[in-house]
Every structure is written in structure tokens, then in C-alpha cells.
């Protein structure tokens, strides 16, 4: 059991962290996902890959938590707007900006994007995890990319240059 958890905890935690944007919540949901997966291990079809099945459980737990969060009104301090890009552009790393933009994406886009780019799942595996058609997953990933790229452009992270790509 320990080996199994060690093998997949990074991926599950990574997905949860990306989905929830909160370290403690991500830890809790990771733990809950593993416990659920281990408890219902008998229902896992061993002809199929274990990782998408486990990530699907984690994704569902994240969605549930996000749904409960939506029902709780946020305190005003949490919904403050982003600071001006010019004053923070130099200090902020582009990675942090991507992370920030990711957190503002639509839930489906973010999940699909993270599963593709960070967990490196194939489109078919993501479709299995999210329980939707492959075409829909592709659309979500493409829209997530477009939104992220646009966010970076708006925030001035794309340097003007006459050179080629």
C-alpha cells in the first residue's frame, strides 16, 4: 500500500493543488482520494490503466470541494483584483503568472490543461478521467491555452521583438 501511495501521490497532489490552489486543501483531498481508491480497489478494472482511474477519483473530489466552496460566500479580501501588472511585472515570475491565470480558468479547462501539460496524460486518458468525449477534451485544452496566452499578453509578459519565434 505504501509503495502504491508513494508511486502516485505526487501526481494526485499536483492535480489537487492545481485544481484547488490551496496546499492544505490539496493535501486533504489527496488523502481522501487515496483512501477512497484503496477502499474501492475491488471495483477497479485491472484491464485498464490505474492512473486515470485514480486521477478521476481525485478530480471528482476536487470538483465536489469546489462546488461546496462556491456555495460559501467568499470574504471580500479573497476576491480582490490583481495588482497592476506594471508595478509587479519585474518581481513576478512568469511561472507565478501562469499559475495565477490557471487558477482563474474555467474549472473544466483547468482540469483538462493540467492533466495534459502537467500530468502528461493523453487525450484519451483525460477523456476517461473527466468522463467526456476526446473532442471535448481537446477543445477545453485549446481554449485553456488561448486564455492563458491572452492573459500573458494582457499582462505584458510577451516581449515585443521583430525577430522570429
Partner 1 sequence: MRCDEFESRLNEVLDERRPLSSAPDIEEHARRCGQCREVARSYEAMTAGLHYDTVPTVPEGLTARIVNEAMRSGREARPAERHVAVLRYPRRLPAAALLAAVLLLAVTLTWIDHRRGSDGPRGKAETDSVAQADRPRPAQVLNQKPPGAGSAIDEQVDRATAPHETDSFASQNLLNLGSLPAAGWAQPGAEWAQEMADGLQPVTRPTVGAINGFLNLWGIGDEGRRS
Q: Is 94 in the site for partner 1 (CB under 8 A)?
A: yes
Site string (118-147) toward partner 1, x via CB under 8 A: x-x--x--------------x--xx--xx-
Residue 23 makes contact with partner 1 by CB under 8 A? yes
Binding of partner 1 at residue 111 (CB under 8 A)? no
Q: For the range 112-119, what are the long-range contacts, defined as Cβ-Cβ under 8 Å and sequence gap of 24 or more? A: 112/137, 112/140, 112/141, 112/144, 113/140, 113/141, 113/144, 113/145, 113/148, 114/14, 114/15, 114/18, 114/19, 115/15, 115/55, 115/59, 116/141, 118/14, 118/15, 118/18, 119/11, 119/14, 119/15, 119/55
Residue 91 binds partner 1, judged by CB under 8 A: no
Q: Which positions touch partner 1 (CB under 8 A)?
A: 1-2, 5-6, 9-10, 13-14, 17-18, 23, 27, 30-31, 34-35, 38-39, 93-99, 117-118, 120, 123, 138, 141-142, 145-146, 148-150, 152-153, 157-162, 164-165
Amino acid at each position: 500500500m505504501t509503495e502504491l501511495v508513494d508511486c502516485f501521490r505526487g501526481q494526485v497532489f499536483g492535480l489537487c493543488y492545481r485544481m484547488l490552489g490551496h496546499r492544505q486543501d490539496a493535501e486533504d483531498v489527496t488523502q481522501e482520494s487515496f483512501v477512497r481508491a484503496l477502499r474501492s480497489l475491488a471495483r477497479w478494472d485491472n484491464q485498464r490503466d490505474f492512473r486515470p482511474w485514480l486521477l478521476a477519483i481525485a478530480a471528482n473530489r476536487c470538483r465536489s470541494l469546489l462546488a461546496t466552496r462556491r456555495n460559501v460566500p467568499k470574504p471580500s479580501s479573497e476576491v480582490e483584483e490583481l495588482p497592476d501588472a506594471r508595478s509587479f511585472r519585474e518581481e513576478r515570475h512568469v511561472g507565478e503568472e501562469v499559475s495565477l491565470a490557471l487558477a482563474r480558468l474555467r474549472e473544466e479547462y483547468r482540469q483538462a490543461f493540467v492533466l495534459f501539460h502537467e500530468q502528461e496524460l493523453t487525450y484519451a486518458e483525460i477523456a476517461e478521467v473527466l468522463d467526456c468525449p476526446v473532442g471535448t477534451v481537446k477543445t477545453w485544452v485549446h481554449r485553456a491555452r488561448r486564455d492563458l496566452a491572452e492573459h500573458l499578453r494582457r499582462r505584458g509578459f510577451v516581449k515585443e521583438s521583430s525577430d522570429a519565434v
